[in-house]
Amino acid sequence: MKVPFVDLGMQYRAVRKEALQGIDRVCKRSNFILGDEVRRFEQEFSAYCRMRYAVGLNSGSDALLLSLLDLNIGKNDEVIVPAFTFIATALAVSHSGARPVFADIDDKTYNIDPAAIKKVISKRTRAIIPVHLFGQTADMNQILKIADKYGLKVIEDCAQAHGAVYKPRKKRAGSMGEAGCFSFYPTKNLGAFGDGGMIVINSKKAYRRLRILRDTGRSSHYMHTVKGYNSRLDTLQAVALRLKLRHLDKWNKMRQANARIYTSLFKAHPDIIYPYEAAYSSHVYHIYALQVKNRSRVFEHLKKKGIGAMVHYPVPLHLQKAYKDLGYMRGDFPIAERIARRIISLPMHPFLKRSQIEYVAGEVLRVSG
Ligand SMILES: Cc1ncc(COP(=O)(O)O)c(C=O)c1O
C-alpha cells in the first residue's frame, strides 16, 4: 500500500470549483497585486485569530522578519529562539541584523522550555520567538511572564499551528504576543497554492507600518517613506486561502481524529514515545512525530513499504553549518540533540484512511524495539 506523507490533491478537490472561478475572476480583472481578495482574507483571518489586524505576506519567513523590523530589532540585539525548529525562525533573526540565541526545549512537547529561556537572557535580549511546534502551542503563560519581567517582546511563530488553542487563555495561536506569524506553505494546516504568509497584530500603528514595509516602503504609488520590501501576498493565493480557511477547523479535527487512531495503536509499545498533549494546549497535528530507538531502520523500512515518513528535524539549529559562526558546541542543548536523533514523522493529513493509519502503525511496530 502507498501512503504519501501528505495528500494535497484531496484538499484541492474540496475547493476546486470555487478556486477556479476565483482565479478566473482575478485574471479577468487582471488585478494581481493585493486588492480586494487580499483585504478580505486579511479580515477573515484576523477575525479567525480574534485579532484586530492582519497583513498578508509572501511567506512565513518574511512575517517573522517584518515583525522584528517593525519592533526596531536589529544590530546589537539578541532574540531567543528554540534550538529545535525549522531554520526559518532563526534566519529571520539573523536577517534582521540581530543575533539568534538558542534555548533548549521541553522533552515532552518539543517546544521551547521557559526555564531554558531564563538561562540565556542577557542585557542585549529584546525578544523571544516561541514556536508552536508540530501544532501544539508553547507554554505561553510562563513565556509571557518571563517576557513581562524582563521587558521583552514575544513574537509567536505559528507556522505549524493554525487554529491551535492555548487553553488557559482561551486564545488561538498568534493572539497572545506582540505579533503572530503564519506560513501558508502548501503543506501547512492552512496552505496556499504556493508560498504565502501573514502577521496578525492588535496595534493599529504597527499594522500601518507593516503594510508600508511589505510594499517597498511606499506611502503612495511612487512615494517611499522607508526602505521596505516586496513581501506582498499574491492576490491569487488569497483566493485559495479564503476558500481553505472555511475548512480549517474541520480539517484540524480530522487530523486530531487520525492522531487518536495512531496513538491508540502505539500506546502499549514500550519502545515508542508517541506525541504528548500538554493540558494547556489543543494539538492540531501539523506533524505526528514519534520517538523511536532505531530511527534509520524504521525510516528505511517505511520507505520500502511505500510509506512517506520524514524527519523534522535531523539537526538542531546550533549544530547547523549555517550557524557555525555563533560558536555553539555539541552538547550545548542536550534535549534538542536527543530528540533530533530519535524523532520520525509519520504520514499526517486530514484525509488519511483508518486502513492507511493501521498499515503505517503496523509497519512501524514490526521494526521497533
Ligand atoms: C516553524 C516554522 N517557522 C517558519 C517557517 C517559514 O515559513 P515559510 O516557508 O512560509 O517562509 C516554517 C515553514 O516552512 C516553519 O515550519
- Beta carbons of 174 and 182 less than 8 angstroms apart: yes
Q: Is the CB of 189 under 6 A from ligand 1?
A: no
Locate the ligand 1 atom nearest the alpha carbon of residue 85 and give its number: 1
The pTM of the full predicted model, rounded to 2 decimals, is 0.98
For residue range 39-66, what is the model confidence (pLDDT) as tens digits? Answer: 999 999 999 999 999 999 999 999 999 9
CA of 269 to the centre of ligand 1 (A): 32
Q: How far from the centroid of its chain's Cα atoms is residue 325's Cα?
A: 26
What is the number of the ligand 1 atom nearest to the C-alpha of 59?
A: 10
Average of per-residue pLDDT across 5-33: 96
Q: Counting atoms of ligand 1 from 1, which one is nearest the CA of 196?
A: 10
- Give the type of residue at 22: G
pLDDT band at 191; cut points 50, 70, 90: very high
pLDDT in tens, 275-332: 999 999 999 999 999 999 999 999 999 999 999 999 999 999 999 999 999 999 999 9
Cα 311 to ligand 1 centre (Å) = 15
Q: 257 falls in which pLDDT band (50, 70, 90)?
A: very high
Taking the C-alpha atoms of residue 335 and residue 338, their distance in angstroms, rounded to an integer, is 5
Mean of pLDDT values over 247-272? 97
CA of 365 relative to ligand 1 center, distance in Å: 31
What H or E segment, with its residue span, contains residue 358? helix 354-367
Of 6, 86, 284, which is best to mutate to test ligand 1, by the most ligand atoms within 8 angstroms of its C-beta?
86
Average pLDDT of the chain to the nearest whole number: 97
Task: Give residue 295's identity as a one-letter amino acid code.
Answer: R
The neighbouring-strand residues paired with 291 are: 273, 343
Which phi and psi (to 5°) does residue 256 adopt?
A: -65, -40
How many angstroms separate the CA atoms of 337 and 255, rounded?
28
* Ligand 1 center to 271 CA (angstroms): 31
Residue 369 pLDDT grade (very low, low, confident, very high; cuts 50, 70, 90):
low
Q: Which atom of ligand 1 is nearest to the CA of 88?
A: 4
79, containing H or E segment: strand 78-82
DSSP 258: H
Counting from 1 in the atom list of ligand 1, the atom nearest the Cα of 131 is 1
Tell me if 252 CB under 6 Å of ligand 1: no
Domains and CATH numbers, the chain: 8-245 (3.40.640.10), 248-367 (3.90.1150.10)
Rounded to the nearest angstrom, the distance between the alpha carbon of 158 and the centre of ligand 1 is 9
Q: Are residues 200 and 180 in contact, defined by beta-carbon separation less than 8 angstroms?
A: yes
How far apart are the CA of 223 and the centre of ligand 1, in A? 31
